[in-house]
Structure 1
């Protein structure tokens, strides 16, 4: 008994020493991933793993909601979305979470911590898809977060912090649920029509929320201890380089504009070529200009025209009005603004040359969000301790994490996407990669719970 008591005292002293050292060095910003592996080992949690078979079975089961011949269409506010959410709520309750749907229609599962006055550690993602999409975008992170909560329950692990698992609604339609949390979902946007055919206002009610009470869901900086999100990469880097885990450095800013070209509709057979005010011809020149401007300087910036509508849309009528989209993405918001200014100048020159007018209407802004460097260290340490390779990289896609970064320290974990395919029925991540990501999520959560700098 004396030997065991002495061993326990020695272990406790070692823990205290490590935590004190980390607290001191953390304040100076000089501790790194290796230190966290020692803490996890000391805490006796290094052997914890999620139930990979159960997680994969849940992924396959959720894929049935909205599945069709052209892929999975579980678009936000559809009946498939509502049914899929009901299944997710059942899994959350089975994981021992207390579940509610907030006024913004986000699903939140809560688990108390040992120190209830601390702000919660939050993890999650989304389960809505693009039309004819795949089965892994968003759902891997959502179901892995639930699996982590269930693993903690089954292993009798209670965190210091309260835990929240959140399933954000309508991520694909512009981060609607997470933007509600940061108070940046303006009333006028609630009238926009979603892919389901419902307005966002109607969709929130359809899912059990209340769009008239959105002010009640707004959170402030410091209201969360930290946020973690696991996601498929949606690109080819990890798969092609055979790297297990991506440690996300930051999430790109995304800006959308609606671009309207006004010319004159006229008879296609009787109007000479030199007398035409062809809105579609001007829009075509604009699309080429976007590509030219965006590729004119080195960097990871991207620009896309993904939608175009010509009116009146008859083969024998010169298009008099064209509406198209413009999207720009980069980690540097100043670069996005600079590219936009150059593109707008090109568009106005095209309009003058073509005898038409052009109008730009901003319709969505998601600002770039760097992840917290301390959380990056925790994620990388978790991967290394599990024997997994890791690579630091940016996210070219938008995620709810970029909004959560406004509320507290945030990190993202990527797993490989086979052939870099996403937003497609061919989207696929291997079971072993899903399990790796979920285990990194679990161990990163455990490290954050004990991190001296986490509130």
Structure 2
């Protein structure tokens, strides 16, 4: 097993998280911004110093490749996204890039050149923080991104996507992707939940990423005077919303893990103290690792909402605007990670990911798996996001062990 010191982890993450467009707390490194360009260029220099051959693709994904001695065409890749949310933490995304670097650095010291090629990918974008588009980096690796989806979008300051991309020195992908010949992909990430911490586990071996259904729902009743409209004559959309939430959450608890149901944004109208709310808009997020269960539960949820609304004489409009299927990880790679953990006495747990990751773009096209390390209190997308360096080390060791089995 390789030896990585917690101090080395802290030093690496302090360096990369310090490349930011704004003063702290937190790191702000948005797609095609000055700090994003700086980070990619500095990573390229660091990788080249270790002997990697580095290239950018058309849109700005950085590929650092250590050529294999016997089967160089077989590429074992790892990495994550280099962009952050506004005032994000020091680990989300960038930890996966630096974990791969530290693991390979130690393997070179231990074993020299790999038989198969090892590759680190610093992906251009995943978060959707600057522009309303996600997975721009990983989608372009496989030629999945559409020009029409981004050519007319702007950031909060009115800067167009194309303008920012061209100013950073990049452009749309034309023709076939150059770097999509990957034999296996591994992504290390903080859990962004508190399961590993609560269970006292060092490493999470991810076997699936949840599917998600998201809804916008509008209830239309009748706005009326709060003092003169008797309770039995009301068409109160907040009351209807409250009954929908209570019934839905109760059923979600009955369904049990790993299903999760969230009622998020709520906008009652006219949203004033002395008027019965005649209209309420709200959002729903439902997730599960099994598509059939997700479909069944949400179909029941929709039917229940319609039934409650009809009972109260309220109109309802349900817009299911996101429907992402669950993504299983590669069985062989999951088994490989389990073997590494057992062989090195790492306390691990096979688990699912409740959040989306670049790995979900890779997994339908390339054998893929993920490694989680614990998150303190599950906090992420926040300057308070933190994992002690000593608790990151086992994840890097698991990643290095998988590299060793796959590439050496």
Question: Is TM more than 0.5 here?
Answer: yes
**1:213 corresponds to which of 169, 173, 176:** 173
**2:16 corresponds to which of 62, 68, 72:** 62
1:295-374 correspondence to structure 2 within 5 Å: 295-310=253-268, 322-374=280-332
**1:91 corresponds to which of 29, 37, 46:** 46
Q: Which residue pairs with 2:95 in the alignment?
A: 140
Tell me how far apart the structure 1 counterparts of residues 300 and 257 of structure 2 sit (CA, whole Å). 16
Q: Is 1:167 matched with 2:122? A: yes
**2:79 corresponds to which of 106, 124, 133:** 124
Tell me how far apart the structure 1 counterparts of residues 322 and 281 of structure 2 sit (CA, whole Å). 16
Query: Structure 1 stretch 350-359 or stretch 441-450: which is displaced more?
Result: 350-359
Preserved contact between residue 329 and residue 363 of structure 2 (Cα < 8 Å)? yes
Tell me how far apart the structure 2 counterparts of residues 345 and 229 of structure 1 sit (CA, whole Å). 38
Aligned pairs, number: 401
Q: Is 1:444 matched with 2:402? A: yes
TM-score normalized by the length of structure 1: 0.74
Tell me how far apart the structure 1 counterparts of residues 250 and 32 of structure 2 sit (CA, whole Å). 37
Distance change >3 Å, CA 256–CA 132, structure 1 → 2: farther
Distance change >3 Å, CA 352–CA 395, structure 1 → 2: same
Instruction: Return the offset for 1:350.
Output: 3.6
Distance change >3 Å, CA 427–CA 204, structure 1 → 2: same
**2:344 corresponds to which of 373, 379, 386:** 386
Instruction: Return the offset for 1:355.
Output: 4.6
Preserved contact between residue 183 and residue 218 of structure 1 (Cα < 8 Å)? no
Instruction: Return the offset for 1:226.
Output: 0.5
Instruction: Return the offset for 1:122.
Output: 1.0
Tell me how far apart the structure 2 counterparts of residues 117 and 142 of structure 1 sit (CA, whole Å). 21
Q: Is 1:421 matched with 2:379? A: yes
Distance change >3 Å, CA 208–CA 154, structure 1 → 2: farther
Distance change >3 Å, CA 59–CA 295, structure 1 → 2: same
C-alpha distance after superposition, 1:192-229 (max 9, x if no partner): 6778876766665565543x437644987xx3211111
Instruction: Return the offset for 1:343.
Output: 1.6
Preserved contact between residue 95 and residue 153 of structure 1 (Cα < 8 Å)? no
1:207-246 correspondence to structure 2 within 5 Å: 208-210=169-171, 212-213=172-173, 216-217=176-177, 223-246=181-204
TM-score normalized by the length of structure 2: 0.81
C-alpha distance after superposition, 1:63-97 (max 9, x if no partner): 33267666444455665545544443443343333
* Secondary structure of the corresponding residue to residue 55 of structure 1: helix
Q: Which residue pairs with 1:15 in the alignment?
A: none
**2:63 corresponds to which of 78, 103, 108:** 108
Preserved contact between residue 223 and residue 277 of structure 2 (Cα < 8 Å)? yes
Instruction: Return the offset for 1:152.
Output: 4.7
Unmatched 5+ stretches in structure 2: 129-133
C-alpha distance after superposition, 1:278-319 (max 9, x if no partner): 555544443334323322323311111232344565666665
**1:252 corresponds to which of 194, 210, 230:** 210
Preserved contact between residue 416 and residue 433 of structure 1 (Cα < 8 Å)? yes
C-alpha distance after superposition, 1:154-203 (max 9, x if no partner): 66722222332112343234444323444544556436677887676666
C-alpha distance after superposition, 1:404-454 (max 9, x if no partner): 11122212122222344333333221112222222221221121124xxxx
Distance change >3 Å, CA 298–CA 156, structure 1 → 2: closer
Q: Which residue pairs with 1:178 in the alignment?
A: 138
Tell me how far apart the structure 2 counterparts of residues 201 and 319 of structure 1 sit (CA, whole Å). 42
* Secondary structure of the corresponding residue to residue 350 of structure 2: strand
Tell me how far apart the structure 1 counterparts of residues 260 and 64 of structure 2 sit (CA, whole Å). 36
Tell me how far apart the structure 2 counterparts of residues 187 and 267 of structure 1 sit (CA, whole Å). 50
